[in-house]
Amino acid sequence: MALWDRFKESAQTMQTQLSAAKNDLRSGAFRDASMAVCALVAAADGTVDPTERHRVSQLIAANEVLRNFPAKDLHQLFEENLDRLAADYDLAKVSLLQVVGKVRKPGEARAVVQIGVVIGGADGHFDQKERAVVREVCFALHISPAEFDL
């Protein structure tokens, strides 16, 4: 099985796991960390072009787990995070990783990483910079990246 096929299968499995845990993923820390990881993955190369912004916004709206929260609030938080990254990428990245690190429940922490993987592969290509950001998210959450084949 090709690497991409394995990744697609893994991402589908992660989405299924997220959907199954939907009712347990309602905390403010989870919401904030999810939007932080979405913004970090979207800006993984240091810039955010309008296509990435639109693509991730669509995915946020369509993700079953994120429907636990008002879409307007999620979009606003995502856009604020992107604006911070655009203004000072390095400082905002550190700040957003701190937001991610506030997630304490193991199930929520794994779900945040899974969202990062799903967002990273949404365009059909989970590149090295996106993988590196999701690995940093794992470290912020004290989770081994190997658990997610990163």
Domains of the chain: 3-148 (1.10.3680)
Exposure string of 58-76, with b = 16+ CB inside 10 Å and e = fewer, is ebbeebebbebbeeeebee
pLDDT tens for each residue of the chain, 150 residues long: 444 455 455 555 555 555 545 556 889 999 999 999 999 999 998 777 777 778 778 877 888 888 889 989 999 999 999 999 999 999 999 999 999 999 999 999 999 998 998 888 877 778 899 999 999 999 999 999 999 888
H/E segment holding residue 130: helix 128-140
109 vs 124: CA distance, rounded Å:
24
User: What confidence score (pLDDT) does residue 5 get?
Assistant: 53
Give pTM, 2 decimals. Answer: 0.83
Q: Quick check: 103 and 33 in contact, CB under 8 A?
A: yes
145 vs 140: CA distance, rounded Å:
11
User: What confidence score (pLDDT) does residue 7 get?
Assistant: 47
65 vs 26: CA distance, rounded Å:
9
User: What confidence score (pLDDT) does residue 22 get?
Assistant: 57
Cα angle at 112 between 98 and 75, to 5 degrees?
85
